[in-house]
Amino acid sequence: MTTFVDIGALSDVPQQGARVVKTVQGCIAVFRTADDRVFALEDRCPHKGGPLSEGIVHGTSVTCPLHNWVFDMNSGEAQGADEGAVRTYPIRVENGRILISAELMARRAA
């Protein structure tokens, strides 16, 4: 069973925006949609390493700021003609706080 750790308030992440969480496994992008859902994705585009956290968030998709690859935040899969995926991590909101999988505190992915 996944255990969760508090990383901040929902209001710390702008709607249709993202913030970064630093982990030993690399940077994680924490996204908040227009309807207050949150997603956690590896903050590194498989194409050229662009920071997805700086992309434009639309619906439950995000566009990489470097070359416009579009990722579905549910699956981490690249959309359209582009092929590739980023890792996704368990994340949820409770009482206005964002909780992320505690495995990210480990030195290596479980």
Partner 1 sequence: MKKKLVVIGAGMASGRMLEQLFDAAPDAYEVTLFNGEPRGNYNRLMLSPVLSGEKTYEDIVTHDDDWYRANGVDCRFGEPVVKIDRKNRIVYSNKGGAPYDALVIATGSAPFIIPVVGKELPGVVTYRDLEDTHAMIDAGVAGKDAVVIGGGLLGLEAAAGMAARGAKVTVIHIMGHLMERQLDPAAGYLLKKDLEKRGITVHCKGATKAIMGHDRAEAVLLEDGTVYPADLVCMAVGIRPETRLANDAHLEVERGIVVDDAMRTSDPHIFALGECVEHRKQLFGLVAPLYDQAKVLAKTLLDQAAEFVPVQTATKLKVTGCDLFSAGDFAEGEGREDIVFRDPGRGIYKRLVLQDNRIIGVVMYGETGDGNWFYGLMKDGTDISEMRETLIFGPAFQGGSKLDPMAAVAALPPEAEICGCNGVSKGVIMDAVAGGACTLDQMRACTKASASCGTCTGLVQQIMAFALGGEVNEAPAGMCKCSDHTHEDVRRLIKVMGLKSIPAVMQELGWKTVGGCHSCRPALNYYLLAEYPLEYKDDRQSRFVNERNHANIQKDGTYSVVPRMWGGVTTPAELRAIADAADKYNVPMVKVTGGQRIDLLGVRKEDLPHMWADLNAAGMVSGAAYSKGLRTVKTCVGKEFCRVGTQDSTGLGIKLEKLMWGSWTPHKLKLGVSGCPRNCAEATCKDIGVVCVDSGYNISIGGAAGMEVKETEHLASTPSEEETIQIILAVTQLYRENGKYLDRIWKWMAKVGLDWIKAQVVDDLENRRALVERFEISQSVYRTDPWAELSTPAETPKWGPLADLTLEAAE
Would you say 33 or 88 has its CB closer to partner 1?
33
Q: How many CB atoms lie within 10 A of CB 28?
A: 27
Query: Rounded to whole angstroms, how far apart are CA atoms 109 and 95?
Result: 27
The angle formed by the CA atoms of residues 74, 23 and 2, to the nearest 5 degrees, is: 55
Residue 34 Cβ vs partner 1, minimum distance, rounded to whole Å: 6
Binding-site ranges for partner 1 (CB under 8 A): 5, 7-8, 12-17, 19-24, 27, 30, 33-34, 48-51, 54-61, 63, 65-66, 68, 70, 81, 98, 104-107
For residue 72, list its beta bridge partners: 61
Residue 46 Cβ vs partner 1, minimum distance, rounded to whole Å: 15
Residue 21 Cβ vs partner 1, minimum distance, rounded to whole Å: 5
